[in-house]
Amino acid sequence: MSSAALFSALPPPPAGLDHRPPTADASSAGAASSSWNARIRTCARSPDRKPLALALYERMLLSALPNNYTFPAVLTACAFLSAFPEGSQIHAHILKLGFASDLYAINSLIHFYASCGRMPLARHLFDAMPRRSRVSWNVAIDGYVANGDHDAALDLFREMQHQHLAPDQYTLQSLIGACAGVASLSLGLWVHALALRRQGGKLAVAADVLINNSLIDLYSKCGSITLAQQLFDSMPTRDVASWNAMILGFAMHGRVAQCFEVFDRLMAEEKLRPNAITFVGVLSACNHGGLVKQGRRYFDLMTAEFGIAPRIEHYGCLVDLLARAGLIGEALDLVAGMPCKPDAVIWRSLLDACSKRNAGVRISESVARKALESTDDDASGIYVLLSRVYASANRWNDAGAVRRMLARKEPGCSAIETSGGATHQFVAGDTSHPRAAEIYNKLREVEGRLTAAGYAPDAAQAATVAEGEAARGAALRLHSERLAIALGLLEAEAGEPIRVMKNLRMCGDCHAMIKLVSKVYGVVIVVRDRIRFHEFKNGSCSCNDYW
């Protein structure tokens, strides 16, 4: 019998149970229910045995009624397994058995729906609750963070503050994740200060490993690797996740030597065993540094010495490393021998390398077909990469034809947080900003000074639908990161870096232009694009022009 059929076989509740408010005695009555609950809880706590928790719940329905001790455990298993149909039926059981106002049951439902990506359902339950506990708020806020809606998480926290509920450790962890998601350094610093106040001062927070791990990740993602390192060095106690957070932070900032140093300390000083996430970090560092020999060594170390089976993330790092180093054939051989099916990310990275390494139109077209076959999402990025292949081969008609095939393309967007804590967003050619006239005047000033310093736009980097070299050069001047940097030059305080977050990969011309801006204006500019962080200083970039 299917789970759906078994779940629909819920026996009728005893008379009156539907309408009476559950009490501790009523909800846990019966030795049979208690025995089932204990077995379900045991399975729900074990990742490998969570499916068994659902099977036990099905069997329980044939002989005993679930109660408010049953639902949190079985819904935890449903959340882990993303078992939406089964969890929805358990929701019906909760309503039928009269537990619609039980805090533990409803909090578990909110967590379940959030884990299944159904935040509107989770929020509906939250809003309908006649009373809420701090767990209730935490589960809803964390649900938004887990689903990538960081602004909604922050808005809900503000509502929590209006209810005069003080955040606890779990609230703070979710808040830190939300701040990292919106890449707001000023807001992250505020949450850090809030943690110091709420947790009892610096010493108490320093001893809170989970909070500090989240803060290291926050500062890394907000472009301040220095603050992340200071926090890491000040921690009296660290776990593997602490080391992983620092390794990943150094990797995304291109601090390859420091990443390797932390990895060596992890094993030599702390005697901790690296895990799969650790190797994602060091392989990413190899990739960002173009270190093929070291990448192969760490990949072999992971499998041979530590017995860690490579995941698709590890293969993705190594494939990208080989391809970007020009070893397209070896990268394709690695993909062919993978035990898991290569995803669209791997094929896109191969296509990107083909466009940069002039691997040839025939190979690039073959890789593009594989990328299109492996994606169910928007394929515009694949077409953009293929158009660059054609552009590099001076096949402008083909490049334009591919561009015109795009039904939609994710627009380039750049965000900058100014010294007052305000965040400003720009798209290419944006004129909606209140200070647009000042920004464009500043941009013209920048262009004049850069031209005098020898800068000339690389027309091949522009959108290939633009007709003629002059038009393509004009299109480059309107890229969103340039507008953000122009505002940064207007707003930045002396000695403060300009930090820009971009949703797409930076083009080569913008990269060259920003290097020159850092030299001409004597300013540090930190840009995070889709791939990594770039720190521009004195006319050079931390990526060493390899990204």
**Which amino acid type is present at position 325?**
A
Interatomic CA distance for residues 386 and 462, integer angstroms: 14
The mean per-residue pLDDT over the stretch 135-154 comes to 95
Residues near 66 by beta carbon (within 8 Å), at least 6 away in sequence: 33, 36, 57, 60, 74, 93, 97
Cα angle value 532/141/90 (rounded, 5°): 115
Confidence grade of residue 460 (pLDDT, cut at 50, 70, 90): low
The mean per-residue pLDDT over the stretch 468-488 comes to 75
The mean per-residue pLDDT over the stretch 461-474 comes to 50
Interatomic CA distance for residues 228 and 230, integer angstroms: 6
- What is the structure's pLDDT at 19? 31
What the block records as the tokens of 337 is 């021998």
On average, the pLDDT of the chain sits at 87
- What is the structure's pLDDT at 529? 92
Does the pLDDT of residue 6 top 50, yes or no?
no
Q: Does 419 or 490 have the greater pLDDT score?
A: 490
Please give the share of the chain, as a percent, with pLDDT higher than 90. 61
Confidence grade of residue 16 (pLDDT, cut at 50, 70, 90): very low
The single residue listed with the structure tokens 């659902």 is 54
Interatomic CA distance for residues 231 and 233, integer angstroms: 5
- What is the structure's pLDDT at 409? 62
Four-CA torsion 379, 383, 389, 391, nearest 10 degrees: -150
**DSSP 3-state of 414:** strand
Selection from 491, 494, 328, 520 nearest residue 422 by Cα: 491
DSSP annotation of 10 reads P
Q: What predicted TM-score, i.e. pTM, was given to this entire model?
A: 0.84
Does the pLDDT of residue 261 top 80, yes or no?
yes
Does the pLDDT of residue 332 top 70, yes or no?
yes
